[in-house]
Amino acid sequence: MKDTVTIKGIARQLAISPSTVSRALQDNPRISQKTREAVQKLATRLKYCPNTTARNLQRGKTGVFAVVLPEIRENFFSEVINGVEELVFANQYTVALYQSHDLFEREKQILAVLAANQVEGVLLSVAKESENFQHVQDLIDRGIPVVLFDRIPPKIETHQVGCAIEKGAYEATKWLAVQGFKRIALLNGPHPLVSSEERYRGYIKALLEDNLPIENALVKRVDLTTQDITEKMTQLLTSATPPDAVLAFNDYVALDAIKVCREYGLQINKDISFVSFSNLPLTAYLENPPLASIEQYPYQIGRKAAEILLSVTNQDMDLHGKRFHQIMLQPELVVRNLRG
């Protein structure tokens, strides 16, 4: 194994001080151009790699941001990660990724580990099981910056980045009404999620404005598993007055519900139609995808959340008199298909 190339080793070969080498590697204008070029040339020839761990220890930081989310396999969250990583890596930080798998106890355990290991900041989207958020508050109370994104719990005072879900649900339901649908059902998410309540409020608001029926039988909550979605969609289809359209919690829920409809012999976008959230790219390959989907801009959410965390960490954020930064992106209804 070759000896590790260090700043001190480069300094010895050039007969200059280690501090001069360090500044030259950072292209500091206080060092003459001739010396900078000599240092950088030798560093390249020797394949010098900076020791970021040592550098971070010197400044009393870890250089690590943690991202805690429900499931990386969901396209929405993988796009969030893309937005985070691009900005964080460009600023010489490392990203540590953790999945709660939508389990409350696992989420608590992850945050406890992060607190013990003194990460510099946390980006968090809470698990669907989480109803008590003291573990989140404990992290904040320890002085660790936390940016909540997408699934944002209530009454937690910290930085937030999300999408206006209620507005998206309202626009989607209004659009279905304009298309002539009369019995619009809602396949909503689990109760603990604030975003489920936001979907419900937008849905009800649109129905009221268009004088469409508001019935408890048309609103079903699902736990986001295929089994529960299948059960709740079956209940809708076998009711005395089944829906002619469904607003689904997201594209994954819509796809499971569409499968049930096909098993009942229904033609999608003729006998029954769907609008959902997430705007998954894979739906472009379906013969009869949901008519439309709400784009929530996950990449932008990830990038904005990382931007806030970097600014807080470097103490250069202007909050305009506010204690925390809160960003709410505007959704877009993307029409994919029309009936007929």
Exposed, middle or buried by CB within 10 Å (0-12, 13-18, 19+), for 45?
A: exposed
Mean pLDDT for the chain overall: 90
Q: What is the pLDDT of residues 84-111, one digit of tens each?
A: 999 998 888 899 999 999 999 999 999 9
Integer angstrom CA distances of residue 154 from 16, 109, 137: 57, 21, 11
Domain co-membership, 99 together with 119: yes
Domain co-membership, 272 together with 313: no
Domain co-membership, 196 together with 287: yes
Does residue 336 lie within any of the structural domains?
A: no
Domain co-membership, 211 together with 131: no
Does residue 55 lie within any of the structural domains?
A: no
Give the pLDDT of residue 340: 47
Instruction: With a cut of 80, say whether residue 315 has pLDDT above it.
Output: no
pTM value is 0.80
Domain co-membership, 252 together with 289: yes
Domain co-membership, 110 together with 189: no
Does residue 318 lie within any of the structural domains?
A: yes
- Where residue 124 falls among pLDDT bands split at 50, 70, 90? very high
Domain co-membership, 69 together with 152: yes
Domain co-membership, 96 together with 113: yes
Domain co-membership, 267 together with 308: no
CATH for 199: 3.40.50.2300
Tell me the average pLDDT across 190-202.
Answer: 94
Give the pLDDT of residue 176: 97
Host domain of residue 231: 165-296
Tell me the average pLDDT across 2-16.
Answer: 84
Instruction: With a cut of 90, say whether residue 221 has pLDDT above it.
Output: yes
- Where residue 319 falls among pLDDT bands split at 50, 70, 90? very low
Does residue 326 lie within any of the structural domains?
A: yes
Contact 192, 131 (CB under 8 A): yes
Does residue 320 lie within any of the structural domains?
A: yes
Does residue 281 lie within any of the structural domains?
A: yes
Helix axes 75-90, 298-313, angle to 10 degrees: 40
* Total domains, the chain: 3
